[in-house]
Amino acid sequence: MNIEDYYRKLELNLGASLEEVKASYRRLVRMYHPDVNPKDKQAKDKFIVLTEAYKILLKVAPPQTELAYNSTPISTTNKKSKSETVSSHTVTQRETKVRITFKQEKEQDHNKSHTSEVEKQLKQNYYLQLKQLLKYKRYPRAVALVEGLAQRMPQDWEVRQWQAIAYQRWARHLISERKLEKARNYLKKALKTDPQNLALWEEVEHDFRQLEKIY
C-alpha cells in the first residue's frame, strides 16, 4: 500500500495531521478490537489492518502545530488608492515561472538511493500539502510546513527549492498587501535558500522592481 491507502484505512484524507490520525485510530479501535468482538474474524482482521496503518502514519503524518502556525489570513479590507490597486493587481496577477515539483527517487541523484520508504512517503505527503496550501494562497501555513520539512531533511536539495518558492510566493503576496519590509526580507530569504535557481531569481528580481515602484 502507498501512503494514501494507509490514510484511507483510518478513514482520513491524505495529509491529515498526527493528532487526527491518533483520534481516528482510537475511534476505530473501539469498534473493531478483538476484545469487543471475540467471535468476529472480520473485526480481528480489520483491527490488524488499522494497527498497521497507524504505525506507518505515526512516522509520516505532520504535527498539527506545523500547519496551524500563523494561519490567520491577512486582512484585505483596508481602503487603497487607485494607484495602489493597479500596482497590487500587477503583483498578484503575474503568473510565476517557478513550479513546485516532486520527482521520484529513481529520477534523483544516486546519492539518495539510501532514502528509506518512510522518508519518501513523508516527503510526498508534505509535497501534496504544500501544493494545496500554495494553490489556495495559505502562504504562512505553506512556509511553516516546508520549514518543518527542511529541518527534518536539511540536505535535500528539492526541499530547499520548495522552501525558497514558498518564501517568494509569500513575499509577492506581502507586496500586494503593502507589507514591504517583510516582503523584502522574504525575498532575500528565497535567494539565500536556493541561490542556483535561475527561474526563481527572475521572479524575485521582478518582485524587487515592484517594491521599488511602490517606494
User: Who wins on pLDDT, 106 or 16?
Assistant: 16
- pLDDT at position 28 is 93
CB of 130 closer than 8 Å to CB of 146: yes
What's the rounded Cα separation, in Å, for the pair 173 and 180? 10
Q: In the numeric block, which cell numbers belong to residue 197?
A: 535557481
What's the rounded Cα separation, in Å, for the pair 39 and 64? 37
Query: What's the pLDDT tens digit per position in 159-187?
Result: 999 999 999 999 999 999 999 999 999 99
In this prediction the pTM is 0.55
- pLDDT at position 104 is 47
Q: What percentage of the chain carries pLDDT values higher than 70?
A: 73
What's the rounded Cα separation, in Å, for the pair 173 and 139? 8
Quick check: 114 pLDDT over 80? no
- pLDDT at position 162 is 93
- pLDDT at position 57 is 84
Query: What's the pLDDT tens digit per position in 58-94?
Result: 877 766 533 333 333 323 333 344 333 333 333 344 5
Query: What's the pLDDT tens digit per position in 142-156?
Result: 998 899 888 888 888
Average pLDDT of the segment spanning 114-133: 79
Nearest to 139 by CA among 100, 104, 102, 101: 100
- pLDDT at position 161 is 92
Q: What percentage of the chain carries pLDDT values higher than 90?
A: 32
What's the rounded Cα separation, in Å, for the pair 158 and 33? 42
- pLDDT at position 94 is 54
Q: In the numeric block, which cell numbers belong to residue 136?
A: 489556495
Going by pLDDT thresholds of 50, 70 and 90, the confidence category of residue 103 is: low
What's the rounded Cα separation, in Å, for the pair 100 and 48? 37
Domains identified in the chain and CATH numbers:
3-63 (1.10.287.110), 77-214 (1.25.40)
* Concatenated DSSP letters of 63-122: PHHHHHTT-PPPP--S---HHHHHHHHHHHHSPPS-------GGGS-GGGTT--HHHHHH
